[in-house]
Amino acid sequence: MSNTRKADPFRKLLIWTIVLLILLALFVTGYVLLDKYQKGERDRAAQRVKEENQKILEENSRARAEQLASLKSGEAKTWPEAAQSGWDVLDVSDFPMTTGREQPVTRAEMLKGGLLLVNRWHAMPGDFTLVEADIKSIGTQTSYRVPVHDGNVLLMDNAITALDAMVAAARKEGIEYFIMREGYRTAAAQLANWEKEVARYQDRYAGDALIEKARERVAYPGTSDYHTALSVYVDVYNRNDSALNNTKFQKSAQADWLNAHGWEYGFVFRFPVQGYPQVNTVDKSYKTGIDLQMDAYRYVGIPHAAVMRHMDFCLEEYIEYLLKHPHIAVYYDGVLKYEIYRVPGDATDTAVPLPENARDYLASTDNMGGIVMAAIY
């Protein structure tokens, strides 16, 4: 007679249930720890950016009075002579401004002005809520004259006005079938994208290596240029032309036109990399922090777009240039078009000098403690 006992099925079930509960507990614990780690990393990164920007703000505040005095006074000297043909940008930082007036400028105005710098080193300012009501649907605002992926493609209202004018100008020249795929992205949407990207790599990377890997393709929440509501992802689409729909944007006639004329309406290509968007494009990824071929165009305003195109600057380079050359004069065919100057101190509503004969102006924060004024003649 065999002494082998028959296995108890309930005992087996109990054992497997305990094992599964242990595995589930380990999974939940790991997920919670990873989530806490990611949140901690986000908080630490945001705090570092905040501290760096605070230092810049404090340094600029000390320099503000001195620079304002320099702009308003000093020995009257004649500016250098500008070229009589084409664009010319003169550094007149050592020269006082022409006699002017104090122009009130609001913080909300600065946030919409076009030069709000947001990248992996500069997070969105906390008071951006001041202008969130001005973020509108491109389709609704233009009565769908500007083709969009859907009604949820959003942009700042002043950028929409410029985009509408640009698309209309292209259409007059026979260039149609643009489509705006994406615009403003909320912090919540960016967080969802970020967590999805982290999940892709968390079985192969950990710690800082995981964060850096995820950042190769997705901006850290709070550091995406799309948060500014000034950048738009552009593509081509025609429901009756499958060949066009399968064409990469930068290989299209639409891209050729946009790259040639977008600056005339205040738009610049946001993330230049080697050979993209054009064959002769110089790599700027070490400045922008983005090493991807992204068809994103950024509204910066016509005066700034003119200088950026003429000097082949990306947004980061332009802002760095203004830090070193805080007063420039921009000419076309020997005629003064814009006077652009940077004044420290952008935290609140304020007043900034404006030349008396300027017919208009554009004011912007650079998110580095400065107000950039473009006097338009």
Predicted local distance difference test score (pLDDT) of residue 271 = 97
Q: Which of 99-108, 338-347, 367-376 has the highest mean pLDDT?
A: 367-376
Question: pTM for the whole thing?
Answer: 0.81
Predicted local distance difference test score (pLDDT) of residue 1 = 45
Supply 372's token pair. Answer: 């950039």
- Considering the domain boundaries, does residue 155 fall inside one? no
Q: How confident is the model at residue 78 (pLDDT cuts 50, 70, 90)?
A: confident
What is the tally of structural domains in the chain? 1
- Considering the domain boundaries, does residue 266 fall inside one? no
Predicted local distance difference test score (pLDDT) of residue 2 = 46
Residue 73: pLDDT above 60?
no
Contact status, residue 124 vs residue 223, Cβ threshold 8 Å: yes
State the Cα–Cα distance between residues 81 and 149, nearest whole angstrom: 48
- Considering the domain boundaries, does residue 161 fall inside one? no
Q: How confident is the model at residue 263 (pLDDT cuts 50, 70, 90)?
A: very high
Q: Exposed, middle or buried: residue 351 (CB in 10 Å: 0-12, 13-18, 19+)?
A: exposed
Phi/psi region, residue 114 (left: phi>0; alpha: psi -120 to 50; beta: rest), is left
- Considering the domain boundaries, does residue 184 fall inside one? no
When mean pLDDT is compared across 66-70, 100-104, 182-186, 314-318, the lowest value belongs to 66-70
Residue 31: pLDDT above 70?
no
* Predicted confidence (pLDDT) per residue in 133-180, tens digit: 999 999 999 999 999 999 999 999 999 999 999 999 999 999 999 999
The beta-strand segments (E) located in 60-198 are: 87-91, 100-105, 135-137, 154-156, 178-182
CA dist list (Å): 266 to 14, 324, 376: 69, 23, 14
- Considering the domain boundaries, does residue 37 fall inside one? yes
State the Cα–Cα distance between residues 303 and 34, nearest whole angstrom: 46
Q: Kindly report the CA angle at 52 between 48 and 56, in degrees rounded to 5?
A: 165
Contact status, residue 306 vs residue 65, Cβ threshold 8 Å: no
Contact status, residue 110 vs residue 364, Cβ threshold 8 Å: yes
Predicted local distance difference test score (pLDDT) of residue 97 = 77
* Predicted confidence (pLDDT) per residue in 222-260, tens digit: 999 999 999 999 999 999 999 999 999 999 999 999 999
Interval 278-284 mean pLDDT: 95
Report which of residues 140 and 28 the model is more confident about.
140
Predicted local distance difference test score (pLDDT) of residue 170 = 98
> Can you give the residue range of the structural domain that contains 44?
12-115+314-377
* Predicted confidence (pLDDT) per residue in 288-326, tens digit: 999 999 999 999 999 999 999 999 999 999 999 999 999
pLDDT averaged over every residue in the chain: 89
* Predicted confidence (pLDDT) per residue in 338-348, tens digit: 999 999 988 89
- Considering the domain boundaries, does residue 321 fall inside one? yes
Predicted local distance difference test score (pLDDT) of residue 20 = 72
Predicted local distance difference test score (pLDDT) of residue 245 = 97
Residue 4: pLDDT above 50?
no
Predicted local distance difference test score (pLDDT) of residue 22 = 77
- Considering the domain boundaries, does residue 163 fall inside one? no
Q: Exposed, middle or buried: residue 202 (CB in 10 Å: 0-12, 13-18, 19+)?
A: middle
Predicted local distance difference test score (pLDDT) of residue 10 = 62
When mean pLDDT is compared across 260-264, 345-349, 373-377, the lowest value belongs to 345-349
* Predicted confidence (pLDDT) per residue in 91-103, tens digit: 999 988 777 899 9
Supply 342's token pair. Answer: 């940077």
- Considering the domain boundaries, does residue 271 fall inside one? no
Q: How confident is the model at residue 72 (pLDDT cuts 50, 70, 90)?
A: low
